[in-house]
Amino acid sequence: MIVNFLKKINNIPFPLTIKHYFAFDDSTKYLKDGNLSSSESWDILRESHPHFSISDNREEWIKVNEQLIKKDGQDGGLKERAKDVAEILKNNHINSVFSAGCGGAGLEYHLKKNLPEIKLTCSEYSKVAVDKLKKVFLEADSIILFDMKSKDWSVANNLSNPNQNLVLLYRIDIDLSNEEMQKMFKNMYNSGIENVLIILCGRLTLKSLISRLRQRLSWKIKGIRYSFSGYLRSEKKFLEFFDEFYKSEKVVCGGLHGFLLKKINVV
Ligand SMILES: C[S@@+](CC[C@H](N)C(=O)[O-])C[C@H]1O[C@@H](n2cnc3c(N)ncnc32)[C@H](O)[C@@H]1O
């Protein structure tokens, strides 16, 4: 009983959003407007910080994705995550995926390895990332420039029948404000997107909240520069973004929590 209570408290049983800060070493001072809220800042970060860079050399890019070289900010759960995503796609008879904000496309690379038959579109709002991916991700069916804040998401349904198509949102939640998240799901709904898999970057728990506050205090004390880099939310907060438009089921993919969403069809 006590364990269940502690789990409930740790999960933060109410909607909560906090700002997220990160110390990007020397890159912090070069970010546009001092934060990570634009494609320009993402490009600067990727050019200046080895841990976040995307390689435009195919051999190196594959080594990064196979986790033989540490780059592109991926964690050790990447391969397992792709297997879990592949399982979800198979179970739901999905035959095409549109990934938004794909970054270096590490997860998408493994997805194509697991399910080569899946039609895959990768998209980004950074032209630099799109140009690099076009050189290295030869297995992708399409790589396009696309802003998740767009009103029209119909491009995401282009490769297949909407019922067999899925929009993949992998670790992009941190980049959008609450208002932007709300609008994005509404726009997807209005554009006829039937299936969405969102895998969270920033799922806030009591434990992670305390550790982040301690980390920030430690940067402050040591005089280390840090910058605003997005939002972290409790699980309950995410439900508010899509509950009106999509039925949700909780999922865990390679250790990261998320939701599989299915469009609510009004009869
Ligand atoms: C935290 S990274 C995640 C990248 C990749 N999905 C992954 O998990 O490795 C967030 C990505 O979203 C992209 N992004 C941020 N805002 C965006 C927007 N409005 N439209 C499209 N991409 C966006 C950034 O360029 C960045 O590559």
214-227 confidence digits (pLDDT tens): 999 999 999 998 98
Q: How far does residue 8's CA lie from ligand 1's centre (Å)?
A: 30
Task: Determine the pLDDT at residue 72.
Answer: 63
Q: 202 CB under 6 A from ligand 1?
A: no
pLDDT at 188 over 80: yes
Q: 230 CB under 6 A from ligand 1?
A: no
Q: How far does residue 248's CA lie from ligand 1's centre (Å)?
A: 22
Query: Which residue out of 53, 120, 124 has the highest number of ligand 1 atoms within 8 Å of its CB and is therefore the one to mutate?
Result: 124
Q: Which residue's alpha carbon is nearest to atom 16 within ligand 1?
A: 175
Task: Please state the pTM of the whole predicted model.
Answer: 0.95
Are the beta carbons of 146 and 124 closer than 8 angstroms? yes
* CATH entry, 14-263, from 3.40.50.150, 3.30.365.10, 1.10.1270.20, 3.40.50.720: 3.40.50.150
206-255 confidence digits (pLDDT tens): 999 999 999 999 999 999 989 898 999 999 999 999 999 999 999 999 99
29-53 confidence digits (pLDDT tens): 888 988 888 999 999 999 888 888 8
Q: How far does residue 175's CA lie from ligand 1's centre (Å)?
A: 7
